[in-house]
Structure 1
Amino acid sequence: MRKHGLLNPALVGHVARLGHTDTFVVADAGLPIPAMVPVVDLTLVFGVPRFSEVVSALLDEVVVEGAVIASETPDQVRGHLPPDPEEVSHEELKRLVGQASFVVRTGETIPYANVIFRSGVPF
């Protein structure tokens, strides 16, 4: 058993396969996800787990060099992100989800709590 960090086996596996510039998504409970994109579904009930909890756990494990959000993203979501995320329309963000390595679905019910992260390198 792992001593710390991510414990969900599917999530650990997807994170371990990330390479430089690969993207992954942390999504609210309602984001439509294309069928060909793998999903690690962490939802339990509406509100559990929260977007902020999942993002915090992932940012402790993954080097992130950038993020993409919808222009409609509220401040309470933006406060959990790296500085200066790229902003696109919500429709464009949904299109970009189709290019992601994987999506982590949360139980979040805050509208537009969806972020595409671009992985970096630690050197």
Structure 2
Amino acid sequence: MKKTTILNAQLSQVIATMGHTDGLTICDAGLPIPSEQQCVDLALTKGVPDFLSTLEVVLSELFVEKVLLAEEIKHHNPQIEQQVLSILGKIEESQQKKISVEYVPHSEFKYQSNQAKAVVRTGECSPYANIILYSGVPF
């Protein structure tokens, strides 16, 4: 049996095949996902799994150099935004490299999400609980 954090085979495979600057979206239950885009659908029911827990687990295995958030999170979901920034701060310390945080309008976020290598859909049901993680290199 796999010993590291992520037990979901599809999600583990996506992370293992990411290259430098590849994007991985973690989204709430409502973000539109094109049918041709790879989707790791973890959503079971409202709130399960939640966005922040999923983010923390993914970040335990993915080296990230940049993230993208929707500008609207600042006004419509500031609690989640602050928790995301706190989590990213801890990851910066552990990987000893800065993570660039960028904000774009939600319409642009959706476009950028469609360009990501894959999307991880959670059961999160709060507004703008979405992030695109861009893979970095640990050297």
Q: TM-score range by the shorter chain?
A: over 0.9
The structural deviation recorded for 1:4 is 2.8
Q: State the distance in 2 between where 1:27 and 1:85 align.
A: 17
- The amino acid that maps onto 1:119 is S
The structural deviation recorded for 1:37 is 1.1
Listed as ranges, the matches of 1:1-123 within 5 Å are: 1-73=1-73, 74-78=77-81, 79-81=83-85, 82=88, 85-123=101-139
CA contact (8 A) 1:56 1:80 kept: no
Segments of 5+ residues of structure 1 without an aligned counterpart are none
Name the SS of the counterpart of 1:48 in structure 2: coil
Most deviating of 30-39 and 70-79: 70-79
Segments of 5+ residues of structure 2 without an aligned counterpart are 90-99
Normalising to structure 1: TM-score of the pair?
A: 0.95
Name the SS of the counterpart of 1:80 in structure 2: helix
- The amino acid that maps onto 1:68 is L
The structural deviation recorded for 1:5 is 0.9
Normalising to structure 2: TM-score of the pair?
A: 0.85
The structural deviation recorded for 1:102 is 0.2
Root mean square deviation, CA, Å: 1.1
Per-residue CA distance 1:27-63 (angstroms, 9 max, x = gap): 0000001122100000010100000000000111000
Per-residue CA distance 1:4-29 (angstroms, 9 max, x = gap): 31000000111100000000100000
Q: How many residues align?
A: 123
Comparing both structures, which one devotes a greater share of its residues to helix? 2
Q: State the distance in 2 between where 1:71 and 1:44 align.
A: 27
CA contact (8 A) 1:45 1:107 kept: yes
